[in-house]
Structure 1
């Protein structure tokens, strides 16, 4: 497209989306210049999320503001919203092009064509294999994210993501190993393995997440391996035992619970019982002494009465969880939960979310406080900021010449006002 020289990006949602954007950026030809200023770009590529109604509304608002500030900028929308509801995007006059998830990796090729179709849409469920790629990292960060799995075969009653990302598919083991080693050569000390449903890794290629991690342990040079999120239904004793003996996998785990009420878990169509989750927490804490465990919680799921909410609150308060990511329930078109007639009022969802976030803050600070005076390995995120292997966010009080991505040891001196403070040693 001859009129396009400068391209900017807006990315919403999860780390997989950010990784997808990075792939597109790294595949663009040298004929294009990447700019971080949307007001100077000839085209803005918007990689969308559609997990909640709020994310949809924010995206539409940002599109309109961008076009108002830069009327000559062409807007290309891709990602999960473009896959699940392209019709809604067609109604937005500021949108010039729509390319769904099934075709987003073709965007660099599309932009090199003299003419671009207004809409490029395919059936995401037709994609059978993981779309592999070459590492061509253009932007250095403190850690690298590597998407090794895409899609989801399960149908939780609240979730639209399987319809946005398609069937579960995995990168081949040898390809994962090669890419981690490529990232290590680029100077990365930490790689985060991510996926839409990471616990499903390998099911389509005769492998498993555990088998992949065993290969990673023995065949990669990078110091730290971190996992994005795992499913309680697939977190076995064997996997936890591996974590306890691993020299590379960081002792921080995000294990998605969603509710502490057995009744609500059934309504959500989750594949585990609360007792299993409790046992996983105990196994990790008993066997991995530095471990930090976080989870996701949905507040105000349809049918969640005050008593059921209190059941979730009490479970979390008494559990060995260290922090929460709390989301108020959001209706997604086409999901089973959206058809229920026992919805929780918006103000009540907001209030319950606030209560859970306050509980999360107390649990996080309690966890941080256990490590005051302790010497911990960490990775530098900024000159005055680092994150330990067990996921403690530490403010460094003395100016350091350490560069983002460096591995250093630090001592946590104190915890106050919701933050941990320490120094490099």
Structure 2
């Protein structure tokens, strides 16, 4: 098999660990953050930019690429690696979350989900077998089983959705055909400890080469997310990579690594960059604010990214206010550099037994979003997810 996960070091006071996951397109040092390339591109950046930043894994979106340009076309053109000119590892999700949050007029049943495209209203159907066929066409190194991602706070619906997720995971496992793709099952169950344990145990019985933790960062509080990880991660095999899906806030990366997570992806660093949000060790800066109009300093002192080595906060603010595309590109470079450096620092700290020291120092200096802002964000997540599920 082309996949092997080797643990290299473990922290003595937390569950943090570092390792290497081998794939057909190269090794992934863990813990690892993967930028999101929804449409087979990380917005504003080239593959050469990503290589220079030190990216080792990219996530692409099955739902979007299935609809446009079409997975069969991607296959005819040599697969996703050749199509997007990226020769490193790629992960594709199953498209399940997008079906439930973006698609229109969907109908769920035990066999799969029928939905209308958010692009043109055309009718489509995803079953576990169909998703495995699409992901085989795309040709990513890591692929995800079809699952259902419900409101994490709705106990009744989570009980129903979990049965579908488990049945679909078994069917994905049975129908997967390409040995050069590592299929991960996805643990669901909302914020409910017994459902999470049940899900982890069932998926363990299917012996996946890796495990995703889904259904988090979609409406619950951070405290609820951390508590769910505390319950879930010990129930997963220690010798397989654990992937926390859709999480990318710096404080969440640190807390999740402390609990034993190996892989992450999120649109957050690239999305906030396009809106003038720059990540620093003290928290997020909004460079659209007037206070930076004459600021000659870099985004963050000591940062070695191209943006910070070359340009001032004042110049970046000017680019944002003028609507220049360069602003988006430079901010994206900085944010990805920030997170990738944070991951590298955590790997190094684990290796020398100083992770908890790094964790405490980072969290002590990092200003998290205020409680009111977090509540607004959680409410918006819940409303969006409920609308997508039709509940």
Q: Same fold (TM over 0.5)?
A: no
Structure of larger gyration radius: 1
- Relative CO higher for 1 or 2, CA cutoff 8 Å, sep ≥ 6? 2
Query: TM-score, normalized by length of structure 1?
Result: 0.35
